[in-house]
Structure 1
């Protein structure tokens, strides 16, 4: 069995990736900034990162922050991966990072290029937004009596556990480069998702579609973050909400 290190291994995606790999019998090392196993700040690196990578066959890079720093962290990780002689680097990205001029997306796209140019065998999977994130955004928007949602924007949310299964599968195989995108089973308008969220929480809110501005908004309206031809996910947003409510 392989020895696999998962960065961000205590996070929303990293945790189920670790669980899946361990269930399949692999030795898994969990790296995260404040984790109990290998606490490493990837923006700094250092001896602790080299120790975590010693003898590792594959790295699954799930660590990410919308607050910035992903590019610097990727550079530090890639340098350490090279030193350790790791043979396979698996990266999780987002559908549309090359088409949506949004800051976080641009950073993810930059990391994609760093991975591709690393000189290490690599695999990159792009996925649509997780149900968890959509619910988190809608929860924040529903705090006032009037719930604003971006006008004309749809989403294609996917169950994080399904992405974790796919990443675990990719991590135990040979490097494949850019693999087909992975999207949720339904493309839904944001106001439709908002109404489902409100019903599941027993809330009453006035849902108002609000037009925004800028290049990123135009790209989202155009569906640049969607992948209708790769809607391979099975779990729906309503099923996710029902499971969490239960």
Structure 2
């Protein structure tokens, strides 16, 4: 099998830590773009750059046939992805793969809107592309409920529901897509169950031996309406991961 150079952004993060070993096992060369200088390790090349500032982007992409864009932040994903997409087009990259979030085109929240902007940057780049929208990772949901559990009373809006998916399931799907042909917008990837915020909290509290009262309330405005309409969920036509929230908690 001929080796392909694959540039991975966000390769040192939660998702990247699962993706990179799978790419190496498949026999390909992996380069990781990082804001922090690192020596080569375990067959992985590291290059330094900052996508948001567009520093080191061209050098990172040079020589890569495939770019897998995992890096994300609370703000500026649209700008950072635009910089990467332009560099990829300039370098003649043959496949640009992007991980987005379910609700990017429907949720009236800045984070989701930036993700939609990033999707558009990929689509309009001129580079053959694949985009996967995934539900919130178990890791992120755990961080959220852990923080909420520190409150003496836990706010629990009934309309707030999630389909948490395991980052390992997302990683496996992304590697499959990365090594395949460009496929455009593929079916969303969700976890196997839908949970209300109370169910997620109860699972966490039970696992940690804690007890907290819940305070019901209604999320107002456009955001509340979007959650009530399940705009952050994909209830039909999604691919489904295998690992449940309960399995994930047990492993913690």
Shorter-chain TM-score: what band?
Answer: over 0.9
Counterpart in the other structure of 1:51 = 59
In structure 1, distance between residues paired with 2:222 and 2:93: 39
How far does the alpha carbon of each residue in 1:113-142 deviate from its partner, in whole angstroms, 9 at most, with x for none?
Answer: 111111000000001110011111111111
Return the offset for 1:209. Answer: 2.4
Counterpart in the other structure of 1:191 = 198
How far does the alpha carbon of each residue in 1:167-196 deviate from its partner, in whole angstroms, 9 at most, with x for none?
Answer: 111111111101111111001111011100
In structure 2, distance between residues paired with 1:96 and 1:71: 15
Contact 2:7 2:68 in 1 (8 A): yes
Contact 2:158 2:216 in 1 (8 A): yes
In structure 2, distance between residues paired with 1:32 and 1:74: 15
Matched, 1:224 2:234: no
| C-alpha RMSD of the superposition | 1.3
Counterpart in the other structure of 2:43 = none
In structure 2, distance between residues paired with 1:105 and 1:73: 15
Where does structure 1 differ by over 4 angstroms across 4 or more consecutive aligned residues? none
Counterpart in the other structure of 1:39 = 48
Counterpart in the other structure of 2:249 = 241
Counterpart in the other structure of 1:22 = 24
> Per the alignment, in what secondary structure is the counterpart of residue 130 of structure 2?
strand
In structure 2, distance between residues paired with 1:149 and 1:135: 15
Counterpart in the other structure of 2:147 = 140
Counterpart in the other structure of 2:117 = 110
In structure 2, distance between residues paired with 1:31 and 1:235: 29
Aligned pair partner of 1:100 in 107, 121, 125: 107
Counting only pairs closer than 5 Å after superposition, residues 2-21 of structure 1 correspond to structure 2 as: 2-21=4-23
Structure 1: stretches of 5+ with no match in the other structure: none
